[in-house]
Amino acid sequence: MTFDGSYTQAWMRRFVASAVATEAELTAFDQQVGDGDFGANLRAGADAVGLALGALPVAETSAAAPLRAAGTAFLDEVGGTSGPLFGLILQELAEAVPGQELDCVGLANGAVAAVAAVQRVGGAEPGDKTLLDALAPAAQALARCPRGTAPDQALALAARAALEGVRTTRVLTARRGRASYLGSRSAGVPDPGAIGMALLFHSAQETVTALTPLLTATVSEPVSLTVPRTAV
């Protein structure tokens, strides 16, 4: 199955839609453990990504191009701590996409590189109640997938791992970012950045899961177009 630019473009569009749909909830969480701008930051990123995708050449088929455009949009247009981190993560994913194909090996390499980049720039460790707590489990889930694992299966595991990671952030005390100023009072609220990260992997899973049955069915099971004869 070729996983080309139309998939990564659809992935980014789904991510944009999910960021827009959750802006109010993410704002509310960041109001409890931060300064309340995370929803708006992710929304600003979503708007910038939407514009960047619209500016891609129609003939662009590289799987990396939509991811790279999205990464640049976050890096250039979004403030806060999360904007540059989301930009970096998307750029690492784009760098790891081999040629025109995107398989679970490319995704795993990209996600593992993204973990390293986030740690290098922000200094967080897993368990510090940051977006790393969703990104790192997702990267691990992808890295454990044997070569040849179907992308929809690999992404289902990654999305579930990211969601589990978000759940763990609810009980954690923040040790990085603004939430750490609250000390133990940060416990009880999930980390908004981790939710945003889980949205990224869920968007990937939803995109591939929606498109895969259609494409594999048309390859392996010819659809009968015979119209039943009716008595005249």
Task: Using CB under 6 A, list all residues that contact ligand ADP.
Answer: 30, 34-35, 37-38, 41, 80-82, 85, 118, 122-124, 130-132, 176-178, 191-194
Number of residues that bind Mg ion (CB under 5 A): 5
State which residue has the least CB distance to ligand ADP. 193
Integer Cα distance of 102 and 96 in angstroms? 9
152 binds, among ligand ADP, Mg ion, none (CB under 5 to 8 A by kind): none
Residue 151 interacts, among Mg ion, ligand ADP, none and using kind-specific CB cut-offs from 5 to 8 Å, with: none
Q: Which is nearer to ligand ADP, 48 or 104 (CB)?
A: 48
Residue with smaller CB distance to ligand ADP, 67 or 166: 166
Say whether residue 34 binds Mg ion (CB under 5 A).
yes
Using CB under 5 A, pick the residue from 35, 116, 213, 216 that binds Mg ion: 35
Instruction: Please report where in the chains the tokens 């250039």 appear, as a residue.
Output: 76
**What DSSP line would sit under the chain, residue for residue?**
----HHHHHHHHHHHHHHHHHTHHHHHHHHHHHS-S-HHHHHHHHHHHHHHHHHTS-TT---SHHHHHHHHHHHHHH--TTHHHHHHHHHHHHHHHS-TT---HHHHHHHHHHHHHHHHHHH---TTSSSTHHHHHHHHHHHHHSPTT--HHHHHHHHHHHHHHHHHHHHHPPP-SSGGGGGGGGGTTS--HHHHHHHHHHHHHHHHHHHHHHHHHHHHHSPPP-PPPP---
What is the rounded distance in angstroms from the CA atom of residue 106 to the CA atom of residue 127? 26
Nearer to ligand ADP, 120 or 229 (CB): 120
140 binds, among ligand ADP, Mg ion, none (CB under 5 to 8 A by kind): none
Smallest distance from Mg ion to CB 188, Å: 18
The minimum distance between CB 81 and ligand ADP, in angstroms, equals: 4
Q: Considering only 4-12, 25-33, 142-150, 202-210, which stretch makes contact with Mg ion by CB under 5 A? A: 25-33
Q: Which of 15, 29, 38, 201 forms a contact with Mg ion (CB under 5 A)?
A: 38
Instruction: Please identify, using beta-carbon distances, which residue of 8 and 41 lies nearer to ligand ADP.
Output: 41
Q: Which is nearer to Mg ion, 37 or 103 (CB)?
A: 37
Q: Which residues bind Mg ion (CB under 5 A)?
A: 30, 34-35, 37-38
